[in-house]
């Protein structure tokens, strides 16, 4: 399993797919086909990173490869510079909403999705701890707003790392 490789950091979708796949195999006896929903949620929750990329580049570029590279560059910047990230599907609010929907509907499929997201977040937290980036991403929208305002008051612009990652990614894609 590739937790970190030169020039490529952060957990990749395929890492989540492999680890989630192994976990879902162990869930088959208890959950049957719902273990596939667990696997899908474990992997697809990272779609918010793609949506963030689209938002940051003002919906100009839709390439998944470019989005993946943007997030790799952004992760490298976050490891060494002041950084504040928000991934909406990686927040407490999203997790609470998912759990509430599963409880309210009593849906086994929604419970499988909820636990898939929870599993994904656990993997991310372990990885971020190992990378030294645990507190670089807000785990709540409310936390993000508070930290954003605090950074702005102290003269730091939280947008700068995103702009640097976009410039670096654009330059790389133009060259290659």
Q: Reduced to 3 states, what is the DSSP secondary structure of residue 148?
A: helix
Contact 30, 107 (CB under 8 A): no
For the stretch 43-99, pLDDT in tens is 999 999 999 999 999 999 999 999 999 999 999 999 999 999 999 999 999 999 999
Rounded (10°) angle between helices 13-31 and 34-44: 160
Residue 9's pLDDT band (boundaries 50, 70, 90)? low
Q: Is the pLDDT of residue 7 over 60?
A: no
For the stretch 161-176, pLDDT in tens is 999 999 999 888 777 5
pTM of the model: 0.89
Contact 86, 137 (CB under 8 A): yes
**Mean pLDDT, to the nearest integer, of 24-52?**
96
Q: Is the pLDDT of residue 138 over 80?
A: yes
> Per this entry, what is the length of the chain?
176
Q: Is the pLDDT of residue 4 over 60?
A: no
Model pLDDT, residue 11: 79
Q: Which two tokens stand for residue 88?
A: 């909406």
Residue 106's pLDDT band (boundaries 50, 70, 90)? very high
Q: How many angstroms from the chain centroid is the CA of residue 150? A: 23
Q: How do the domains of the chain map onto residue ranges?
A: 13-175
Beta pairing partners, 138:
86
Model pLDDT, residue 170: 87
Distance between CA atoms of residues 116 and 114, nearest Å: 5
Contact 76, 95 (CB under 8 A): no
């Amino acid at each position: 399993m590739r937790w970190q490789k030169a020039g490529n950091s952060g957990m990749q979708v395929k890492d989540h797919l492999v680890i989630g796949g192994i976990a879902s195999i162990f869930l088959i006896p208890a959950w049957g086909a719902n273990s596939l929903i667990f696997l899908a949620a474990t992997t697809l929750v990272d779609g918010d990173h793609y949506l963030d990329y689209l938002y940051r580049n003002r919906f100009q570029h839709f390439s998944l490869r470019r989005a993946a590279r943007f997030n790799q560059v952004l992760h490298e910047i976050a490891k060494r510079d002041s950084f504040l990230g928000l991934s909406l599907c990686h927040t407490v609010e999203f997790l609470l909403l998912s759990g509430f929907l599963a409880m309210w509907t009593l849906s086994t499929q929604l419970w499988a999705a909820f636990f898939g997201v929870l599993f994904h977040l656990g993997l991310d937290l372990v990885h971020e701890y190992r990378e030294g980036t645990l507190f670089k991403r807000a785990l709540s929208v409310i936390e993000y707003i508070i930290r954003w305002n605090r950074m702005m008051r102290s003269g730091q612009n939280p947008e700068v790392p995103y702009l640097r990652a976009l410039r670096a990614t654009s330059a790389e894609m133009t060259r290659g």
